[in-house]
């Protein structure tokens, strides 16, 4: 009996480690979303994006944030601009898990957590979300999916 427990414990641990990471942990481990992760922390959205979901996140890379005018990110990260930061970040999140195969060949709108609608165009080569191009799709997480975008999209 003791031998079976000794074998079962490491197997259970490896099964836990193999479990898909949530949206936040997936973004952290990717290494290309440091600005996004810092913004999510500053906005107080970590617990939300670690929640059950499912969520679809259109995640701007660090290079996407670098395309914003100088000082924009630093300004948004200030405590007095938290409401604006939350609005921008939640505009990148759609409730539910939307895979690229769900929208292939379609032009549609998706209501974001922020409340406005994103325009998603998957009718031509590649996929665009508002003015951003999806550069990597379908990064699955335990509570949703991440689609990497090359531009920060802004609510109207």
CA–CA separation, 97 vs 36, rounded Å?
Answer: 20
pLDDT digits (tens, 9 = 90+) for 20-53: 799 999 999 988 999 999 999 999 999 999 999 9
What does pTM read for this prediction? Answer: 0.85
Window from 7-16, 88-97, 99-108, 128-137 with minimum mean pLDDT = 7-16
Across the chain, mean pLDDT equals 87
pLDDT higher than threshold 50 for residue 15: no
Phi and psi (nearest 5°) for 88? -65, -45
Q: What is the mean pLDDT of residues 118-130?
A: 90
Q: Which residues contact 15 (CB under 8 A, 6 or more apart)?
A: none
* C-alpha triplet 45, 49, 53: angle, nearest 5°: 140
pLDDT at 19: 58
* Token code pair at residue 40: 């999510």
9 exposure class (CB count in 10 Å sphere: 0-12, 13-18, 19+): exposed
* C-alpha triplet 136, 95, 105: angle, nearest 5°: 50
Q: What is the mean pLDDT of residues 105-125?
A: 92
Residue 125 confidence class, pLDDT cut points 50, 70, 90: confident
Residue 156 confidence class, pLDDT cut points 50, 70, 90: confident
pLDDT higher than threshold 60 for residue 5: no
Q: Are 110 and 95 in contact (CB under 8 A)?
A: no
CA–CA separation, 153 vs 144, rounded Å?
Answer: 20
């Amino acid at each position: 009996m003791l031998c079976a427990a000794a074998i079962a414990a490491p197997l259970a641990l490896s099964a836990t480690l193999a479990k898909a990471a949530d949206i936040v942990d997936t973004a952290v481990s990717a290494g290309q979303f440091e600005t996004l992760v810092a913004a999510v922390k500053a906005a107080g959205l970590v617990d939300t994006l670690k929640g059950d979901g499912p969520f679809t996140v259109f995640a701007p890379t660090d290079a996407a944030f670098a395309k914003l005018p100088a000082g924009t990110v630093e300004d948004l990260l200030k405590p007095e601009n938290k409401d604006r930061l939350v609005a921008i970040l939640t505009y990148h999140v759609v409730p539910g898990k939307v895979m690229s195969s769900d929208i292939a060949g379609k032009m549609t709108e998706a209501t974001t957590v922020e409340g406005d609608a994103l325009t998603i165009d998957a009718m031509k080569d590649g996929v665009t979300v508002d003015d951003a191009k999806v550069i990597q799709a379908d990064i699955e997480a335990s509570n949703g999916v991440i689609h990497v975008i090359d531009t920060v999209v802004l609510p109207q």
